[in-house]
Amino acid sequence: TSPVSDGCVDGLMRKKIIEIAQKNKIAVQEVSIQQNVLLGADELFLTNAIKGIQWIVAYKQKRYFNDTSKKLIEKLNELVKS
C-alpha cells in the first residue's frame, strides 16, 4: 500500500485489508507508488469501501496475477457473513 503521507486514504477498507493480510501471513509494505515498484510487483489491486477489492490486470506491458486478491476477498467475505 502507498503511505498515507502520499495521499492514500487511511480508510476502513484499507485498515481491514491490512489486518486480514497480516493475520494470514501476507506481507504488507507501505511503499510510494513509482513505476519501478509497479513493474516489479507480482500483483496489484485497489481497495475502497464501495467496490471492495479491485484486481489490476495490467500496467503497461506487465500482467499481474490475482491469487492474493482472491484470498483477501474470500477472507473479507467470511467476515461479512459472520
34-69 pLDDT tens trace: 999 999 999 999 999 898 899 999 999 999 999 999
pTM: 0.86
Cα–Cα distance for residue pair 2/81, rounded to 1 Å: 29
* pLDDT surpassing 80 at residue 17: yes
Contact (CB, 8 A) for 67 and 43: yes
Residue 81's pLDDT band (cuts 50, 70, 90): confident
Per DSSP, the three-state class of 80 is helix
Alpha-carbon separation of residue 17 from 21, 35, 42, 53, 63 (angstroms): 6, 23, 18, 9, 22
* pLDDT surpassing 90 at residue 82: no
Cα–Cα distance for residue pair 59/9, rounded to 1 Å: 22
